[in-house]
Amino acid sequence: MFRYENTLWKKYRYENPLFLTTSRNHTGRFTLRTTEFIAKERKKLKYCKFVPGGQGIYDVREDGVSYTVNIRLRICVCRRWDMSGIPCHHALRVITEKKLNREDYISDWYLNSRKQSITVTQSTMSMGCYFGINQVLLCCHLLL
């Protein structure tokens, strides 16, 4: 069953032109998924009200609830920014009100260059492990 699903996925992946063009050809600073997430979060900004504060700590009110955002530590009370490394819509409200660049507040783990280097490293590691296993099996066969 697993082999059948795996071949269907490979067939879909290689025959679907949208799959090949979207993520691989994305040339932005951050990955495609990250930019889409930021775009969705920006739509929620109209429901947030900015309350100025001091020393990098600001309040953002949404539906009668106050969220404290610390720009210096990159922390929001909703914990989405802490957990993911991508600013939540509360943090984006503060960033846009202060006229800061929102890309400076996204974690480096979401860089497109990092994704490409991880992909290359994983492919070379898997080939190295594969050849390593064959060499071990060959040595064991020769010893027997």
Candidates 103, 84, 97, 94; CA nearest to 39 is 103
- HSE, CB side, 13 Å, CA atoms: give it for residue 47: 13
Pairwise pLDDT comparison (117 vs 85), residue with the higher score? 85
pLDDT tens for residues 12-52? Answer: 555 555 555 566 677 788 888 899 999 999 999 999 999 99
- What's the mean pLDDT in 53-62? 93
The answer, yes or no, to whether residue 62 has pLDDT greater than 90, is yes
pLDDT of residue 58: 96
Task: Pick the range with the lowest mean pLDDT from 13-22, 64-73, 93-102.
Answer: 13-22
Going from N- to C-terminal start, the domains of the chain cover 2-110, 111-144
